Chain A
């Protein structure tokens, strides 16, 4: 078991940090247990002529990779594994059958999990259990990934050992929401996996079901000059603050947080989270005029050097920056670049195009947008700009309070399987802002409404709505 208080210490720069050797399941001889020649000669138990075609071509072949794992498991032997050694061979067999028949062979749904939690595990059963007994149970465990998906090899190897010993040895790195995904294990192994993850990896499982899903973040200040706030810190703190909501479904439907450091949206928060936190600033873009001139003189490649694969001609600051700026708030007099920052909408184009000359502002925080979702049920939605600016300071209490207000309203009013974005559609943006205690602002809309079907509150209208027809008739006889 883990050392109490040190369960999570994988930090190589710290004393007494945990190493792979402290927790490993497989010895070196188990890990390097097959040769290149054995791999060439290896024939999995099912013929897979169609999948074999997907071993050709340059892109990394998942089929080749699965076959390698299948051989590794075969050589490890059933005595060293807790789910069937040939699970990956049966997985290849099932997929080949689906390729032949053009239909999936996984049964509908499946409800499994670990005690005390209502989510984190996706149950899955094969519908051809006679033919493929080793994937009869093939559940997925979502493991909450560390911020921006940084790992040490010690931690990663330990994760690999659990996946292989108690599961199929197949993963998704990563699920679309962000989790590390252990693909394929049996019901019996769920609790042991959970105990190993929490005791020895010092790591919890992620979200699934009608709850807060695993939050995720862009790389932020760890390696990006555009980051306007600490996405990793905020993602971590918000994940910790809402552990209960993440593990125990209490919502009408799923709810996602995502944290983008700037409006380039590298983690796609604006499209893929119910509550998107997107970094921004409220002062001026910082300009290094010498570097601007270096761009103009073609001494620095445009767009961070990311466009060198085609000949786009010499850099032309007028047509590429000044004329493209969506608000037209920039000028270039041949020597000096000026920005009318009051008119700038912080789209990032000029900064992306000239990262060595232009920097995001220093007085920075987050914009908060609500309600993104995929099409089911009412159609796809992007997030709606709700709060234009908030300072984002550790431990992010103001953001937590705002999220709780959103949750409280949605838990109360949301219908079964109604995403926040659909509730906003149904009850109106005006109801949302009332709940959040914020005034309306023109920034909330692309354009004001074009139909005149405007509601008023009775209190806004002099004399109210209780009317007497006799009073009206006294002025307007029939």
Chain B
């Protein structure tokens, strides 16, 4: 490849030699030979042990896959080490999964077992595993997440650090397959929800609690005000002229629920705030069509504080939900299926979670989420209402 400050690029002749619209490299050249040979010809598969899959083709050929965890953010040094491993065991082929784990594929079982051992033996100097194997079957696999304070301008929390803290706490479940069904944890640092937060078994979501601070100078100079007005889902923003004659906007704080979409559109409306910002927890979403239809995650904890660097309260709450589910759900039952079967009132009781008014939907189709039925179970939450209403 080119060396030097501008390499192949000649700023005097910008169009010269420019190649465009070539798309991605074709996948065909990166398939390990055993997959190439049996492409479209697979008959069945089995998880041999946590972290090792075996796929069997119509011809009886077998492909062994070893899966290991990845932090998603990766240095090229880390990737080069993965490449060394792939060269050593897999003829120079490797892949990543849709949840940012890494997979090595070989046609030999003993190679796969040796590879797994090798992967599990590698640690960073400070002690964490570089390539812990697992994430297969009914485990808690990698946490799909976002950029956080490493690279994004709208987050209400950090992604990599929070994920590391939670993944440490759930580590034993990455390595084993004891869950009733798959349990997907995901994380997004603001409610743009880049990734899978709206459809995961357990989801962590960065959330603001203060309306934006308005920089009248910046709004007038740098923002297209009608776009800012239109960006608000609750119509809280109006165009105004300030007392000193600047074009700006006003935010009706009674209507604002701190989504941050106006800041996405306009640098003059920042809303990040140390005390205000934190993490909401959602639960019960899924994307597969297995048994039940795909479901959205529901907010079960409206807000917990950002506690850097290890978010102990968030971690503890996630563990509470995981353990309640693991203990109580039936086999094949996803977390959302379980919560719906036992009723959300029982879910809150079993998980030991508070239920507050923040969890009552009040956005457009909210009425559809209310209980228009006398079918309910009694829990402490119910007795509290009966008492407050003067009925007991």
Contacts of A3 in B (CB 8 A): none
Bound-complex Cα distance A124 to B94 (A): 31
A173-B96 CB under 8 A given contacts A101-B274, A148-B27: yes
Bound-complex Cα distance A312 to B364 (A): 43
Q: Mark A301-317, 1 if CB is under 8 A from B, else 0.
A: 10111111110100000
A448 part of interface (Cβ distance < 8 Å):
no
Question: Which residues 218-256 of A have a CB within 8 angstroms of B?
Answer: 218-219, 221-225, 227, 230, 232, 236, 239-240, 243-244, 247
The reply to whether A8 and B25 form a contact with Cβ atoms under 8 Å apart is yes
A156 part of interface (Cβ distance < 8 Å):
yes
A82 part of interface (Cβ distance < 8 Å):
yes
A60-B22 CB under 8 A given contacts A36-B125, A99-B161, A271-B196: no
The reply to whether B75 and A173 form a contact with Cβ atoms under 8 Å apart is no
Contacts of A309 in B (CB 8 A): 50, 137-139, 176-179
Bound-complex Cα distance A40 to B198 (A): 41
A265-B40 CB under 8 A given contacts A56-B127, A236-B27: no
Question: Which residues 1-34 of B have a CB within 8 angstroms of A?
Answer: 1-3, 5-9, 11, 14-15, 17-33
Kindly identify which residue among A1, A203, A380 contacts B198, using a CB–CB cutoff of 8 Å. Answer: A380
Contacts of B152 in A (CB 8 A): 104, 106
Contacts of B9 in A (CB 8 A): 191-192, 194-195
Question: Which of B15, B76, B132, B267: most chain A Cβ within 10 A?
Answer: B76
The reply to whether B8 and A199 form a contact with Cβ atoms under 8 Å apart is yes
Bound-complex Cα distance A394 to B261 (A): 40
The reply to whether B19 and A199 form a contact with Cβ atoms under 8 Å apart is yes
The reply to whether A68 and B78 form a contact with Cβ atoms under 8 Å apart is yes
The reply to whether B288 and A348 form a contact with Cβ atoms under 8 Å apart is yes
12 more CB-based (< 8 A) A-B contacts, given A150-B93, A199-B19, A223-B105 = A54-B164, A57-B168, A102-B274, A146-B24, A156-B82, A160-B80, A199-B8, A201-B25, A301-B46, A309-B179, A356-B44, A374-B191
Contacts of A306 in B (CB 8 A): 47, 136-138, 177
Interface pairs (20), CB distance under 8 Å? A1-B17, A13-B29, A55-B126, A56-B128, A57-B164, A102-B277, A102-B306, A153-B86, A155-B30, A172-B73, A173-B102, A174-B96, A192-B7, A195-B17, A196-B1, A247-B21, A267-B98, A304-B46, A306-B137, A375-B198
Kindly identify which residue among A162, A355, A375 contacts B45, using a CB–CB cutoff of 8 Å. Answer: A355
The reply to whether A348 and B289 form a contact with Cβ atoms under 8 Å apart is yes
Bound-complex Cα distance A56 to B310 (A): 10
The reply to whether B35 and A223 form a contact with Cβ atoms under 8 Å apart is yes
Bound-complex Cα distance A158 to B137 (A): 34
A61-B25 CB under 8 A given contacts A173-B79, A374-B193: no
Chain B residues touching A, majority SS = loop
B167 part of interface (Cβ distance < 8 Å):
yes
Q: Mark A182-214, 1 if CB is under 8 A from B, else 0.
A: 011000100110111011111110000000001
CB distance from B184 to the nearest CB of A (A): 9
Interface size class, chain B: 35 or more
A263 part of interface (Cβ distance < 8 Å):
yes
CB distance from A62 to the nearest CB of B (A): 4
B348 part of interface (Cβ distance < 8 Å):
no
Contacts of B177 in A (CB 8 A): 306-310
B342 part of interface (Cβ distance < 8 Å):
no
Kindly identify which residue among B40, B45, B124 contacts A55, using a CB–CB cutoff of 8 Å. Answer: B124
Bound-complex Cα distance A69 to B73 (A): 12
Kindly identify which residue among A102, A214, A221, A272 contacts B196, using a CB–CB cutoff of 8 Å. Answer: A272
The reply to whether B92 and A153 form a contact with Cβ atoms under 8 Å apart is yes
Question: Which of A105, A140, A300, A375: most chain B Cβ within 10 A?
Answer: A375
CB distance from B237 to the nearest CB of A (A): 12
B48 part of interface (Cβ distance < 8 Å):
yes
Contacts of B148 in A (CB 8 A): 104
Contacts of A318 in B (CB 8 A): none
* Interface stretch of the complex, out of A163-171, A333-341, A430-438: A163-171
Contacts of B82 in A (CB 8 A): 156
Which B residue's beta carbon lies closest to that of A195? B8
A157-B83 CB under 8 A given contacts A271-B294, A303-B138, A320-B332: yes
Which B residue's beta carbon lies closest to that of A269? B287
The reply to whether B94 and A379 form a contact with Cβ atoms under 8 Å apart is no
The reply to whether A225 and B8 form a contact with Cβ atoms under 8 Å apart is no
Contacts of B347 in A (CB 8 A): none
Q: Mark B163-193, 1 if CB is under 8 A from A, else 0.
A: 0110110010010111110000000000111
